């Protein structure tokens, strides 16, 4: 599954040497920003980047620690009733996943405070806490159910149980991708006929079936501006933050919309969904193989595939694979974004307006201008604003 994902990515992603980790970071484009703008961005980035990285690493490192430290494994296995292995696995998984969320909390709080200091987070702390607790509860409940069901299936069908697990993991990835536009509506939507019509007009110009246009209300929590496409088939949607209309000029909005609709035209969401489904299936297969391994069971002192002692193994595999997979995902994303920038400029025929849009996005969202190479390689879904400005300059 992993190999299939790699082959598809190699064959279909428009790889671009200009956005590789060793590429030119285009620091000569800093002149597009004033000294005050650069200082404001760098102040925020200096406060947020390290806790952001630690929050990214913490879940996988904690799960690995529990897996490798025998007393922790044994304690976790005894959390639930030993005579009911499914319930014991469910409770052990819930405790472990809750711990991984708590491990990120100090770091996400530091990032949130940095965002508040920079004016990027304006919602009350009470609203922030409710959001974090809701996301954490969903992560713990769904994750624990997934781990418990996986172990129950492998316990019941040790020879062929991996087949429904692999298929189920791929299906969950596909369904999740399709449902993302629906979940975004929980944020609240705004009626903006003029903005929606701009999207429809640009879609007609590009010959693209736009699906649903959703303007989500984010201005009461952050002034950040953004737009993106998500979903596939009947759920495909273009989502625009309500802050866009009050921050960008009409020409800049057209450039932003053109960028998102290029993603639709080129099928980037479908490609990303296919790669995610293959990666999820590969991770499920790897976890099942390790659970069913006699050597692995002996090392964990597990009585069988359904033993709660297997919980840290599955959690560690899933979280480490997610960490590694995110690096692959951002590598693919940077190439897609660079291609999309070039094509959006070609569609609008106005590289100067596109450059103005990029500056507005970077200044408003406090986007990192000159990251270290390793952070760029591991975390950046887009080329830096300076690299994107270089693309716009080259299109002039």
Query: Mean pLDDT, consecutive 10-residue segments, the chain of 396 residues?
Result: 96 94 93 97 98 98 96 92 91 97 98 97 96 96 96 92 96 93 72 85 90 87 94 88 92 95 95 97 96 90 91 97 96 97 95 97 97 96 97 88
Each domain of the chain, given as residue ranges in start order, spans: 2-394
> Hey, what are 335's tokens?
């190439």
Indicate the pTM of the whole model: 0.93
Under 8 Å between Cβ of 279 and 183: no
Which helix (H) or strand (E) covers residue 237, if one does?
A: strand 237-241
Give the β-pairing of 237-241 and 227-230. Answer: antiparallel
| Residue 220, CA distances (Å) to 41, 194, 199 in order | 22, 21, 23
Cα torsion 67, 68, 69, 70: sign: positive
Dihedral Cα 190, 195, 201, 204, nearest 10 deg = -40
Under 8 Å between Cβ of 369 and 385: yes
- What is the reported pLDDT for 94? 97
Query: Tell me, what DSSP letter sits at residue 214?
Result: E
User: 135: alpha, beta or left, given left = phi > 0 and alpha = psi -120 to 50?
Assistant: alpha
Nearest 5°: the CA angle 106, 112, 116 is 145
Under 8 Å between Cβ of 254 and 202: yes
User: 125: alpha, beta or left, given left = phi > 0 and alpha = psi -120 to 50?
Assistant: alpha
Strand partners, 215: 240
Strands across the sheet containing 227-230:
212-216, 237-241, 227-230
Q: Around Cβ 240, how many Cβ atoms within 10 Å? A: 26
Question: What's the longest Cα–Cα distance across the chain?
Answer: 71
Length of the chain in residues, anyone? 396
């Amino acid at each position: 599954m992993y190999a299939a994902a790699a082959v598809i990515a190699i064959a279909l992603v428009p790889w671009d040497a200009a956005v590789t980790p060793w590429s030119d970071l285009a620091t000569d484009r800093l002149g597009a920003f004033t000294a005050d703008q650069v200082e404001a961005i760098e102040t925020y980035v200096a406060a947020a980047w390290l806790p952001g990285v630690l929050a990214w690493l913490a879940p996988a490192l904690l799960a690995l620690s529990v897996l490798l430290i025998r007393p922790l494994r044994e304690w976790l296995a005894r959390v639930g009733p030993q005579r009911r292995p499914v319930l014991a696995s469910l409770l052990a998984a819930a405790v472990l996943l809750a711990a991984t969320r708590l491990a990120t909390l100090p770091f996400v709080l530091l990032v949130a405070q940095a965002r508040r200091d920079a004016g990027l987070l304006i919602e009350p702390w009470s609203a922030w806490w409710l959001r974090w607790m809701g996301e954490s509860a969903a992560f713990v409940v769904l994750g624990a159910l997934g781990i418990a069901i996986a172990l129950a299936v492998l316990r019941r069908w040790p020879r062929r149980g991996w087949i429904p697990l692999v298929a189920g993991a791929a299906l969950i990835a596909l369904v999740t991708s399709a449902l993302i536009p629906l979940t975004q509506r929980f944020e609240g939507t705004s009626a903006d006929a003029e903005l929606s019509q701009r999207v429809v007009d640009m879609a007609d110009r590009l010959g693209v079936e736009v699906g649903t246009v959703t303007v989500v209300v984010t201005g009461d929590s952050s002034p950040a501006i953004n737009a993106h496409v998500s979903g596939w088939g009947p759920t495909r949607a273009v989502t625009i933050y309500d802050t866009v209309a009050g921050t960008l000029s009409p020409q800049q909005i057209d450039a932003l919309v053109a960028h998102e609709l290029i993603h639709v035209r080129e099928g980037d969401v479908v490609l990303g969904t296919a790669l995610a489904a293959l990666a999820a299936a590969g991770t499920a297969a790897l976890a099942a193989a390790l659970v069913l391994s006699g050597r692995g069971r002996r090392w964990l002192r597990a009585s069988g595939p359904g033993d709660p002692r297997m919980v840290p193994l599955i959690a560690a595999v899933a979280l480490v694979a997610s960490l590694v997979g995110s690096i692959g995902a951002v590598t693919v994303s940077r190439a897609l974004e660079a291609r999309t920038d070039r094509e959006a400029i070609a569609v609008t025929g106005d590289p100067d307006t596109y450059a103005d849009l990029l500056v507005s996005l970077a200044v408003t969202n406090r986007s990192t201008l000159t990251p270290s190479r390793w952070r760029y390689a591991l975390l950046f879904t887009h080329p830096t604003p300076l690299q994107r400005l270089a693309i716009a300059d080259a299109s002039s």
